[in-house]
Structure 1
């Protein structure tokens, strides 16, 4: 199995208002997010790629236009957790690139959530 991955960055605010008021994530706050999309294939294409990295620029444009410096509660359905963001980006990527195998979202350098079917 061949695997490739590409990393993307954005900054955004969110609030997990369903948590108890004393929970730090219940307050409005922000993160510098890192999104990593992983693609996998049994065989390489005619150019010798799983997928040309250049094509993944569509995800950068999507993130820049819809997520960067935005309030995530206004953008995604359900709680704006890293887990839900990973699933959201996975679904978006899978609809464009069938080789999409997983998406990882990090809110801090020490934490990440991943969606992998």
Structure 2
């Protein structure tokens, strides 16, 4: 299996108000998010790629237009956890690129959430 990954970045605020008031994530705060999309294929296309990285440019535009410097609670109908965001971005990518195999989201350099069906 061949796998490729591409990384994208955005900054946004959110608040997990369903958590107890003394939980740090219940307060309004922000992160510098990292989104990594992974695509996989058993064979390569005629150009020798799983998919050309340039084909993933629409994801950058989507992130920049809809998420960068936004308040995520205004965007999501579910709590804006990294886990929910990973699923959201996976669904968005898989609808465009059938080779999508996983999406990982990082809120801090030490934390990652992944959605992989």
Shorter-normalised TM range: over 0.9
Distance 1:102 1:77 in 2: 22
Match of 1:36, SS state, is strand
> 2:4 corresponds to which residue?
4
Match of 1:93, SS state, is helix
Task: Tell me if 1:107 matches 2:107.
Answer: yes
Aligned residues: 117
Distance 2:25 2:48 in 1: 44
TM value normalised by structure 1: 0.99
TM value normalised by structure 2: 0.99
Distance 1:8 1:66 in 2: 13
Unpaired stretches in structure 1, ≥5 consecutive residues: none
> 1:25 corresponds to which residue?
25
What value does the CA root-mean-square deviation take over the aligned residues? 0.4
Q: Displacement of 1:36 after TM fit?
A: 0.2
Distance 1:116 1:43 in 2: 20
Counterparts of 1:44-63 in structure 2, within 5 Å, are 44-63=44-63
> 1:40 corresponds to which residue?
40
Deviations, residues 15-70 of structure 1 (Å, cap 9, x unaligned): 00000000000000000000000000001011111000001111000000000000
